[in-house]
Chain A
Amino acid sequence: MEIHLKDVTKVYRRGAKALDGVTLDIQSGVFGLLGPNGAGKSTMMKMIATLVVPTSGQISVDNYTLPAQQNEVRRMLGYLPQEYGLFNNLTAYELMDYIALMKGIGNDKQRRDDINRLLDWVGLNDVIHHRVGSFSGGMKQRLAIAQALLGSPRLLILDEPTAGLDPEERLRFRNLINRISVDRIVILSTHIVSDVAAGCQRLAVLNHGRIMLEGELDALKRCADGITWEAQVDPGIDTEHLPGAVMVSSQRRDGSLYLRFLAKEPPISSAVPALPDLEDGYMALISGMRAGAAS
């Protein structure tokens, strides 16, 4: 299964360009979509989820062209929007049942089994007959994930799926995604790099509607090769205004401040080179400090 985006552009009514000539190929497996807020991630997800029609360009999903063959695409789709509400006056089971029916799961037993299994997976089996309106934010998020998984969709689009989940739930979610990602495409949009690191085979970084990078995870790490530094400094130092540096993290420990930053040349004499990780690569890419790029 493959998804192809070719020169896809989306311009909204008031002229805001959400996507600008995006070309992207997505294969089976978990695909991470990283980018800051407003980068165009959700627009791209909605396009693949058939909810938004591109202004120009072509999108095909498993040889089905959008928007012409959107019904075919929707049949293989599980979708979790970034911002959503749920049908508050239905119970968890009724909501799942409704969605399952809409997805064409007509067999009563199969539908019942699927619903129970998924609600069990997301830890909601003890509130199965409670109204959704009474759920906490985290419970609603888990229910939303469960509804997306109904019908074993071959294309799963999850927009910020871990938002609102506690660490345990997030871990369980990652395991779940890894388990089901065989022979299907899971597109995971997030701004939490660790979510991508946990399970994505490939990723793309979007910024200002353009693809900044597309490839395997190591490709992102390599963006920070040679420009990643660590330093232990006095806590009184002004870390916000280190010349030529982009701060990745700063931690106070044992009376000192441990800094991790990106810079062509370290502004602090005590800085030592460090091995870049995904977060360093992402920051290097977004900040324009990508290794090898012209300064």
Chain B
Amino acid sequence: MIKHIVSYQWLRTRRWWLCPAVIAVCALMGIFSIMSAQSQQAMTGMDFIYESSTFLTVAMFIISAAAALAINREADEDSADILWALPIDNVSMIFGKFLGLMPMVLFAAAAYWLPHAVMITAKWAGSGLSIWYLAGELGFAALMQGAGMISAAAAGSFLGLILRGFWLYGAVIALWVGTFASTITSIWPLYESAPEEHIYEIMFRQLIDWILNGPMMMPNQMPRDLYTAALYPGMLWQRVFYIALALFIAALAAVLIRRHRAAGRARMVSRTALSVSLVLVICATAVFFYEQGYGYKKYRDEMTFYDEYYGHFYSNKQPSANAVELPSADYLAEMPLYIDSYDLDVDVTKPPVLSVKAGLNLRNIGDDTIKNPLITLWHGFDVTSASADGKKLTARRVGDGVYLEGLSLNAGTSAHIAMEYTGSAEWWGIYYLHPRLNALADKYGFMLPADYGWYPLTTPLPLMKTTDLASFEENGWGVSLTGVSQIVPSSLINEMSEKSPETSGNVDPWQRQSYFTVTVHKDNASPVVSSIGEAQNPYEEDVRIAGKGHYLTLTCWPLERIDVDSSVLYRPLEYKGDEGKYPVTVMNDTWKWFGISGRKAVGVIMPPYNGDRSMPELVDGAQGFYMAAREARGYEPDFFYGVMTGRAENGGAGEYILSVIYPQWRKWKYNGSYDLQEIEGYIKDVDGFSISDADKIMKWFTSHDDAAAQATLHELYMKAQKQPLSAEDIKEAFGS
């Protein structure tokens, strides 16, 4: 029976002028959507999917209104009595009508999806990514958009069954305005105090986003790439939620609209449909809460851990009375331990578990014997064995530190430490209650940055500062890569800033460099890229890397290598032409103008995890500092601190002024104009430097040739090697 109702509902619907009109308008919305994505420089298929959410809201409104009118045309033509006097139960009738509308809904969804599919396929073509990757992106787009359209049609149909005329139009518009308003996330405040104090608000916000925005908007934590498989279950369940919700609405209509009470089998069908859909809705919601709860538990564990040792780090609590507190930053900074070299044997063949065999040559550079030295290693790793020159040691874990008990290092002597440790690459952050941070290891690749603390150090371990919400918001993905300083506990930074190498009489921990030899065991053929040099063949299954640097970053992803002048850029396979080259070019160019030789940048377009693939991470191979540099942010002070000092730490006012002036000079040089007002906006709070000084410097640039400019910039660079630059240094260099 129901198939006949479906068949005739569809026959009637497709002969209605509004049906092709709705499909055509949805196709138009799809075209608008891809045009919008193109205008925002969409790079990946996921970028198109992400952008599609905006116009999907309009398409959903259209389909809900059309479904509302189409499902109950009998009410408009006064033929309902004939229909309802037929021997059909309301379950068959209402389900049949719902299903009979589905071809229109699916055609409209397909019309909306098709332009996206074309662009996704175009981005995929020639990328080297597998056909399954393309199928995944197309499938996800279809699921996302289809589920949204189906749920909108179900909601509209329900309204159409119970309302007519003005009330129906009002209800459909209210439905749309309500859901659309919910997508304006700015209505939610950004919490300015510790996130855990707002955990229920945050979870509620997430739930509301998940429910209301889901059919239209990508979840906030939606990655920019399909590679981040960790989020698939949640996303798929969200789509299940919407399809189940549509079924639930239909079943509810069948039960509530009791014009003809279902009996016998029909009653069973309606109750079963209601129950199944309700169970699915509950399951999907439960998955949401499980994910949130699991994420919160993980975060909470982290929070509790750090509060135990630092007390003030995540909250304002005092450290636990029973906590074994880590030695102070002073101690760590001044500890005369030095790691001459590393041998790291890293196994990531069972992601996300990381297993490391570390061999490090530890040297006492002080005047006294060091007993039971402390090294740092992120607490997520279990140290399974430790020895010094073959003698077994006890590794006593204290927070992010490990005491090597049983080791005594006399002044000026060295020991070869062998350690084995294992742990997960996942690290959890509060804001989205998902694995965050820029560390990851999954079946596609891995990203092991220095700030993850995945290998032993004698200096303080950089930690993610999750309470730095301004940084969260600015970067949009939870951790700042613009400088190590922002990811070290503020207390440690402050303490260390006060202990400059001159006053402490010891080697600046930031300047300590070690020789690294790293062997990476992995499963795929993706290249391994490092901050300390290039592998002989980064595409081999077992990759060996050697070099010198402060901190070690490893990246392994499906990338292609291209040369940009003397530097190297690893970028996603689908990038074409000059895509992604700009920051490397800027860096090469800047080195040239400052007369800095011997530097070679290794640019890596970030692995597509929790971020934007168009965000490159530049690694200065010579100095070992690393930084993120979006094209528009390539002139940030940190960039200059890196250029001028070879490391990402706070520079002086001079470096800051130069970071503002230099881009304007480049702008003038390449475009013929500069913006003094922009300079004024940046330097107004800099003591000892005014806009007239800036004006004089710009005039100096425009009246001198390239050789003079290069000489002056080089002079400043040389000066910066000795001490941070002041405003006076800048003014003096340019004679202002």
Contact = CB atoms under 8 A, between A and B. Distances in A.
Interface of A: 46, 49-51, 67, 70-71, 74-75, 77, 79, 81, 83-90, 94, 98-99, 101-104, 144, 147
Residue of A75, A81, A90, A102 ringed by the most chain B CB atoms within 10 A: A102
B81 A70 contact: no
Nearest to A73: B87
B87 A90 contact: no
B77 A102 contact: no
B79 A71 contact: no
Contacts of A102: 1, 4-5, 83, 86-88
Contact of B86 (A88, A89, A94, A99): A99
B72 to A, nearest CB: 12
Contacts of A98: 4, 8
Nearest to B262: A71
Nearest to A69: B263
Residue among A49, A75, A79, A89 with the highest chain B CB neighbour number at 10 A: A89
* A-B residue pairs, 5 tightest by C-beta: A85-B78, A85-B77, A74-B87, A102-B86, A79-B85
Contacts of B15: 89-90
Contacts of B12: 87, 89-90
A74 B259 CA distance: 13
A51 B79 contact: no
B711 interface: no
A46 B77 CA distance: 18
Contacts of B85: 49-51, 74, 77, 79, 81
A67 B261 contact: yes
Q: Identify the interface centre among B8, B16, B78, B82: most chain A CB within 10 Å of its CB.
A: B82
Nearest to A150: B86
B229 interface: no
Interface string B507-546: 0000000000000000000000000000000000000000
Given A77-B87, A90-B12, A94-B11, A101 B4 contact: yes
A94 B5 CA distance: 12
Nearest to A157: B85
Contacts of A94: 8, 11
B82 A144 contact: yes
B16 A89 contact: yes
Nearest to A99: B86
A103 B81 contact: no
Interface in B73-127: 73-74, 77-79, 81-89
Contact of B87 (A46, A67, A75, A86): A75
B416 interface: no
A99 B86 CA distance: 8
A100 to B, nearest CB: 10
A102 B11 CA distance: 15
A75 B87 CA distance: 5
Interface in B327-341: none
Interface in B229-263: 259-261, 263
Contacts of B73: 87
Contacts of A77: 85, 87
Given A88-B77, A94-B11, A101-B4, A50 B86 contact: no
23 contacts: A46-B81, A49-B85, A50-B260, A51-B81, A51-B84, A51-B259, A71-B87, A71-B260, A74-B85, A74-B87, A77-B87, A79-B85, A84-B79, A84-B81, A87-B12, A87-B73, A87-B79, A90-B8, A90-B11, A98-B4, A98-B8, A102-B86, A103-B87
A70 B86 CA distance: 10
A71 B8 CA distance: 21
A80 B86 CA distance: 11
Contacts of A89: 12, 15-16
Interface string B9-43: 00110011000000000000000000000000000
B261 to A, nearest CB: 7
A107 B15 CA distance: 26
Given A85-B74, A87-B12, 12 more contacts: A71-B89, A74-B87, A79-B82, A81-B82, A84-B82, A85-B77, A85-B79, A86-B77, A86-B79, A102-B5, A102-B87, A104-B87
A87 B84 contact: no
Given A51-B84, A104-B87, A70 B77 contact: no
Contact of A103 (B16, B78, B86, B261): B86
A99 B4 contact: no
Contact of B78 (A49, A75, A83): A83
Contacts of A104: 1, 87
Interface in B125-161: none
A84 B11 contact: no
A81 B261 contact: no
Contacts of B81: 46, 49, 51, 79, 81, 84
A158 B85 CA distance: 13
B4 A87 contact: no
A89 B81 CA distance: 17
Contacts of A75: 87
B83 to A, nearest CB: 8
Nearest to A147: B82
Contacts of A99: 82, 86
Contacts of B264: 71
A212 B77 CA distance: 35
Contacts of B16: 89
Nearest to B87: A74
Contacts of A101: 1, 4, 8
